Structure 1
Amino acid sequence: MPSLVTEPGIIHYETYGRGRPVLLLHGWLGSWALWRDTIEVLGRDFRTYALDFFGFGESGVVADRQTRRTSAYTVPIYVEMVHQFMDRMGIVKAPLIGHSMGGTVSLSMAINHPDKVVKVGVIGSPIDGNSLNFLLKLSGNPKMAAFFWLFEGRGLRVFLRGYSYFMARDGRAMSRMINKDVSMISMESFFQSIGTLRQTNLRPELGRVCVPTLGMYGQRDIIVRSSENQTLKAGVPHAQIEWFPDAGHFIMMDSPDRFINTLRTFLLSNGS
């Protein structure tokens, strides 16, 4: 299980393939495992790195900082995490591909560290936190998060086990993945991460994204408003927008063939 110690904490990651580096960033409540099928294909042409954000999967904030850090699981911290990961791994620059919250972090990297980002791809990502599902926005409230976390999160897992059947076409596979990922998080990472995502609004800064950009959005998304594809296009006019009418929030699960072909073509095109 490869891991890397950075200033904010310990990063768990999985790597596969050979060639130019590509970073894959998961969404809220997820882990690197979201990309398990993706890295098998991209690994034919690239060296892929799939990271766990702090508080998710196997990554965590350094123990002796835990009590002093009040916002360890925020979008700015995750941006710094990716930045330090690249520096420590000797990755001068690379494409960043992110799902949901991971895409928000990827765009933030392109805005704040443009020298590090060759291309950026987002899948069902919120540009403005107000585009999140109402229940997700409620989860960012500490009192509501505490309610959701009653009985050590068992109630939340029961709810998500049922709700996940509406998130993807293969509800059973979605339920298994969500249940496993949620079992590895804490209440703090649960509400801090979604709270900061809800407060994030990248629209005023999108004009600073100068690298090739890909946005993939599903019409059946019940997590993030699918109209965020228009928000991305308005702020980044050169962005390539791919619309998936039969997919929801997890496009890589609902439309796997078109998803991987679109992503691979984007990464292999000139400028990667």
Structure 2
Amino acid sequence: MEFALKFAPVGNYTLRYIDEGSGPAVVLIHGLAGDYSAWLAQIAVLRQSYRVIAFDNRGAGQSTQVDEPVSTADLARDTLGLMDHLQIARAHVVGRSMGGAVAQQMALLAPARVLSMVLCASFARLDPLGRRVLLNMRDALEWRMSWADHARHSVQNFVSADFFNSQPERVAAIERLIGGETRLPACYVRQNTACQEHDTLPDLARIHQPVLVMAGASDPICSLTATGWLSAGLPNARTEIFDNASHFFLMEQPERFQQLLSVWLGQNA
């Protein structure tokens, strides 16, 4: 599946992005790992009815990589800047993991520009378990300085036990995907820290847009505890739990995820 890859100047950085389809705008924000390609399956479906924007966050993929402090609010400003570049006034925002944290910051910084949100395996504040898992993954990368070793130490955090044990080929594919990172390890470390420091819990009551929260029941990074905090704090949220799935429930149960996403956008767009 090939898309036209483009580059946009946003502040002091350059962001790689795709702009596919036409209709109401949907902005897809990837997580701590990977780049815009985390959304390939969704782009293929959504571009039939929507204008779909997906991009590499600063410090990921082929966007600008610099070893400097960064916050989820900084990444939200980058996303809003990309929308400015593309002359998109308002959009539905879909974020996975760290991308969902960025989406929350967008809604707080520029509420008129966010029509609705879908937060996948995300958090307003990490719980102690999620914080420990992220610290361990960061330490593994800094210790080994190898993306392949980082993937080997991390992949079990992303999928359920049943998936890990019964789908060895798909687990190996996920491990290769994570191990194939080309970004500077320092950029991952900076964004890992941004996730640990992210805390919108006191501000969630200010987010009045409709929000769909989706979570994997066995996710150790964004646990049901953290999901409960997020859902309870949002005034207009609906929550869907994926049983027997973990942080990558989008890959473990792709049909259900796509159905929920498509119905949600159809109702809110």
Task: Give the alignment's TM-score, normalised by structure 2.
Answer: 0.88
1:202 to 182, 200, 204: 200
Q: Which structure 2 residues correspond to residues 181-260 of structure 1 after superposition, within 5 A?
A: 183-260=181-258
Per the alignment, residue 157 of structure 1 pairs with 148
Q: 2: CA distance between counterparts of 1:29 and 1:47?
A: 24
Per the alignment, residue 172 of structure 1 pairs with 172
Any conservation in 2 of the 1:213–1:239 contact (CA below 8 Å)? yes
Any conservation in 1 of the 2:216–2:247 contact (CA below 8 Å)? yes
Any conservation in 1 of the 2:217–2:244 contact (CA below 8 Å)? yes
Is 1:58 the counterpart of 2:62? The answer is yes
1:43 to 43, 47, 51: 47
Any conservation in 2 of the 1:167–1:174 contact (CA below 8 Å)? no
Q: 2: CA distance between counterparts of 1:195 and 1:139?
A: 11
Q: 1: CA distance between counterparts of 2:265 and 2:18?
A: 19
Task: Give aligned-pair identity as a percent.
Answer: 25
Q: 2: CA distance between counterparts of 1:172 and 1:266?
A: 32
Offset at 1:133?
Answer: 4.4
Per the alignment, residue 26 of structure 1 pairs with 30
Offset at 1:18?
Answer: 2.0
Is 1:124 the counterpart of 2:117? The answer is no
**Aligned to 2:246, what secondary structure does the other structure show?**
coil
Q: Which amino acid aligns with 1:128?
A: R
Any conservation in 2 of the 1:162–1:175 contact (CA below 8 Å)? no
Task: Give the alignment's TM-score, normalised by structure 1.
Answer: 0.87
Of 76-85 and 15-24, more deviation after overlay is shown by: 15-24
Deviations 1:188-238 (A, max 9, x none): 211111112101111100001111101000012132222222112211132
Q: Which amino acid aligns with 1:175?
A: E
Deviations 1:43-98 (A, max 9, x none): 1111111111011111115xxxx5xx832x32121011001011111000001100
**Aligned to 2:25, what secondary structure does the other structure show?**
strand
Q: 2: CA distance between counterparts of 1:250 and 1:221?
A: 8
Structure 2 stretches lacking a partner, 5+ long: 164-169
Offset at 1:139?
Answer: 5.6
Structure 1 stretches lacking a partner, 5+ long: none
Is 1:3 the counterpart of 2:1? The answer is no
Per the alignment, residue 97 of structure 1 pairs with 94
Q: Which amino acid aligns with 2:20?
A: Y
Q: 1: CA distance between counterparts of 2:40 and 2:223?
A: 26
**Aligned to 1:227, what secondary structure does the other structure show?**
helix
Q: 2: CA distance between counterparts of 1:148 and 1:176?
A: 15
C-alpha RMSD of matched pairs (Å):
1.9
**Aligned to 2:257, what secondary structure does the other structure show?**
helix
Any conservation in 1 of the 2:157–2:247 contact (CA below 8 Å)? no
Offset at 1:135?
Answer: 3.4
Q: 2: CA distance between counterparts of 1:216 and 1:135?
A: 20
Q: Which amino acid aligns with 1:46?
A: Y
Deviations 1:141-172 (A, max 9, x none): xxx4xx73356x22x52241353155233312
